[in-house]
Amino acid sequence: MSQTTAVYASFRSIGAYVPEKILSNADLEKMVDTTDEWILKRTGISERHIAGENEVTSDMGAKACEKAIERSGIAKEEIDLVLCATVTPDYFNMPSTACIISDKLGIRDVQAFDISAACSGFVYLLSVAKAFIESGMKKNVLIVGAEKFSSIVDYTDRSTCILFGDGAGAAMICATDKKEEGFIDLHASADGSYSDFLVTPAPGTVNPVSQRVIDEGLNFVQMKGNETFKLAVKTLTKDVKEILAKNEINSEDIPHFIPHQANYRIIKAVGDALKMNKEQVVLTVGKYGNTSAASIPMAINDIWESGRLQNGELMLLDTFGGGLTWASALLPFAGKAVEK
């Protein structure tokens, strides 16, 4: 009987792109009936970054990917799968944003496709990359969460326009035979019976492009904010508690808890339920807002660039979003720390 060596998926590098233009709470005060005080108190957000008019999702995604590739030490020619998570693709039908990003990076003749899991997109991508690598089908998987959320936000709707921002975050996920470098656990789930909690009604087969779509603003994101908030706190807390218990890891042994950055109050409630201190919980929502599939990799990039994320340190990821979808992951950072 032939013996094969076990292969594990490892998180090798991180990169992100943040567009230049800032939309502050003061700017929003001039656009809708809101105040800096209300936004800060209810969400923890001070500002968010907005892509340029001609800057599209794949532009931001490709820039994040360039950094992740360079920091991984893997040559572009060695990448054998490109995956993008986005709900604001360059084109709603085809081609996929992953195909366009691959082209912008000069990666040719390699499988590339998008997934749609809203804010849970990046952790969903980790599960896909893990499956491809651990089955032996691929070795070096480039994953990217990229969103131009401003393209589906109605800037006359104060309940949503204060929340979202644009950006991208990417990572290289690579095969390794070292078990200690591999993902420890990952859990991803969904419940479509809550699909009306977060929805962009058009364009799609339910509401193809028409004058009615434009007149009724069906191309903009709609959210049942308060209901989503309550379910997010409950689900995220349950999910992280379960993954920690299953792997017999105490929350105090997690140096980096990196939750989806939707609302400071959600993050605080989950962090408190886990009895985590401020140093453990990564917070970027204040400066980026909610960037959907890009939020977790942008947050990981922040702690990497500031030198907080070191080789071998454990990351606990936890996310929740439209679908509804949710996911959590427990994994070590298997790349090099930032060179200072």
297 scored as a contact of ligand UT7 (CB under 6 A):
no
**Chain residues 235-274 in contact with ligand UT7, contact rule CB under 6 A:** 262-263, 266
Task: Judge whether 99 counts as a catalytic residue.
Answer: no
Give, as ranges, the residues between 115 and 134 that touch ligand UT7 (CB under 6 A).
119
Give the total of residues touching ligand UT7 (CB under 6 A). 19
Site for ligand UT7 in 205-234 (CB under 6 A): 225-226, 228-229, 232
Ordered DSSP codes for 138-202: -SEEEEEEEE-GGGG--TT-HHHHTTB--EEEEEEEEEES-GGGB--EEEEEE-GGGTTSEE---
123: which residues sit within 8 A by CB, 6+ positions away?
186, 188, 296, 317, 319, 327, 328, 329
DSSP string, 260-314: --S-HHHHHHHHHHTT--TTTB---HHHH-B-GGGHHHHHHHHHHHTT---TT-E
Question: Binding to ligand UT7 by residue 336, rule CB under 6 A?
Answer: no
**Active-site residue, 290 included:** yes
Decide if residue 327 touches ligand UT7 (CB under 6 A).
no
Instruction: Give yes or no for a cis peptide into 203 (omega within 30° of 0).
Output: yes
Catalytic-role residue among 25, 260, 263, 301: 260
Q: Looking at 36, 38, 283, 308, which residue binds ligand UT7 (CB under 6 A)?
A: 38
Active-site residue (options: 219, 263, 290, 301)? 290
263 is catalytic: no
Question: Which entry of 99, 119, 161, 174 is annotated as an active-site residue?
Answer: 119
Closest to ligand UT7 by CB, 182 vs 297, is: 297
Annotated catalytic residues are 119, 260, 290
Per CB under 6 A, residues contacting ligand UT7 are 34, 38, 42-43, 119, 158-159, 162, 225-226, 228-229, 232, 262-263, 266, 290, 320-321
